[in-house]
Amino acid sequence: MIDVLILGASPNSLSAARSLGRAGLRVVMADTKADESVAHSRYVARFELLADGDDDVIASRLMELCGQHERPFLLPTGDRYALLVARYQEQFRSKYCFVIPASDALEGIVDKARLYETARRHGIPHPVFEVVRRSADIEIAITRVPTPCYVKPALAHEWRRFRNTKLERAGTTTELRRVLESFVEKKLVAVPQEIIPGMDSEVFSVSAYIDRSGKCLGWRTKRKLRQWPLGAGDASLQEICDHPEVAELGLRLLSATGHRGPATVEFRRDERNGRLVLMEINARTILGQEMIARSGLDVALMAYQDAKGNPVPLPWGSQIHPLDALPVRLSCVPGPAPAPTADGLAVAQLDCRLPGLCLLCRRRSQALFH
């Protein structure tokens, strides 16, 4: 018997498993790789190792995993799996229930080149950027994007087949040309963009849940305090905050994209002019989900009830809680040893200790061999 099938085995997958498991649901997790610090949670009843083949192979396996009349809730917690569910949603509906936007809408969010074009059309501030699809685009990008700059993959999950990083940094035009050539050689679309100057503590985001009808049922704004790597990394310490401008910009952009389900829109404040500039949208649960759920916005549980056609539990209290009513400063990501990050609320929990112990042992081993 399966109540929930979570696709992905990351710390944010674990946060979703805990939210749903605490509600008494039987959670199964599936991924192409096993992470002991996630799969050993008391809230994960079983882990399914998927063959790392193409999407057709994974989709076929997912159709085999549940019984004829179970129809469990399907929750993707990574870009690749979200795109897979969106593309195969007509096939999956006979076996699963889920909340996912149309395939083209989701591709327009996950693909950073298309996302920035959408932001430009709707007046959302964004970095200076170019899109490099082929060798002929390289010189144009070099003349238009100032260095130093970042080079992001249009599709991050495809980039991670080659590098386990978010982006590349090019300090000079020579470096930029080399990085762009390497993207083209790998047949990946590159998005070189300007670096928005500002402190890491000036990175804000809005996390929201958009129901099947397109209505936003709740949101929280949050702020990074530290991240690793510096400048463009994952938050190691962040807080819930009250930021109406971030909420307005982010929710307006989500409405323009046609998104459905959980999503987080991130902005950085440009120290040159004080504007909030779009960084990205994560059209799924995120690494800081444990903190957001503790603030009263449990998007995993909201998505489950929405997919089942049940009344959706609305966030308790106001949309943004007073700071004295929240655990406002929570660490959420374990950094690679010996990175200066916090211990990782997303993994270490008092009611689910084994994932945190596995993580601690792994970090100790890494420290010994570095």
Q: What is the pLDDT of residue 165?
A: 83
Q: What is the pLDDT of residue 50?
A: 93
**What's the length of the chain?**
370
Our CA dihedral for 48, 49, 53, 57, rounded to 10 degrees, sits at -20
150, β-bridge pairs? 169, 193
Q: What is the pLDDT of residue 172?
A: 96
Sign of CA dihedral 205, 235, 17, 152: positive
Q: Which residue has the higher pLDDT, 183 or 322?
A: 183
351, β-bridge pairs? none
Is the link from the previous residue into 229 a cis peptide, with omega within 30 of 0? yes
Q: Please state the pTM of the whole predicted model.
A: 0.86
pLDDT over 70 for what percent of the chain? Answer: 85
- Sequence ranges of the domains in the chain: 4-100, 128-194, 200-368
| pLDDT tens digits, one per residue of 190-239 | 999 999 999 989 999 999 999 999 999 999 999 988 877 777 777 778 88
Strand pairing report for 4-7 and 27-31: parallel
Q: Which residue has the higher pLDDT, 323 or 269?
A: 269
Q: What is the pLDDT of residue 264?
A: 97
CB atoms within 10 A of CB 47: 18
101 Cβ neighbours under 8 A, 6+ residues apart: 86, 109, 257, 258, 259, 260, 261, 283
Is the link from the previous residue into 313 a cis peptide, with omega within 30 of 0? no
Nearest-angstrom CA–CA distance, 132 and 192:
8
Report whether pLDDT(345) > 90: no
| pLDDT tens digits, one per residue of 47-105 | 999 988 889 999 999 999 887 667 999 999 999 999 999 999 999 999 999 999 999 99
Q: What is the pLDDT of residue 329?
A: 43
Q: What is the pLDDT of residue 320?
A: 39
Report whether pLDDT(138) > 50: yes
Fold for 128-194, please state it: Dna Ligase; domain 1 (3.30.1490)
| pLDDT tens digits, one per residue of 256-310 | 999 999 999 999 999 999 999 999 999 999 888 888 888 899 999 999 999 999 9
Report whether pLDDT(356) > 90: no
Indicate the DSSP class of residue 200. G
Q: What is the pLDDT of residue 33?
A: 87
Report whether pLDDT(364) > 90: no
Report whether pLDDT(334) > 50: no
Q: What is the pLDDT of residue 319?
A: 45
Q: What is the pLDDT of residue 365?
A: 61
DSSP characters for 1-63? --SEEEE--SHHHHHHHHHHHHTT--EEEEESS--HHHHT-TT--EEEEPP---HHHHHHHHH
Q: What is the pLDDT of residue 362?
A: 58
Q: What is the pLDDT of residue 344?
A: 47
Report whether pLDDT(341) > 50: no
Our CA dihedral for 147, 149, 151, 156, rounded to 10 degrees, sits at -170
140, β-bridge pairs? none
Across the beta sheet with 149-153, the strand order is: 168-170, 149-153, 190-194
Q: What is the CATH architecture assignment of 200-368?
A: 2-Layer Sandwich (3.30)
Among the residue ranges 26-30, 136-140, 164-168, the one predicted with the least confidence is 164-168
Report whether pLDDT(25) > 90: yes
| pLDDT tens digits, one per residue of 150-161 | 999 999 888 888
Phi, psi (5° rounding) for residue 288?
Answer: -90, 25
Fold for 4-100, please state it: Rossmann fold (3.40.50)
Q: What is the pLDDT of residue 366?
A: 55
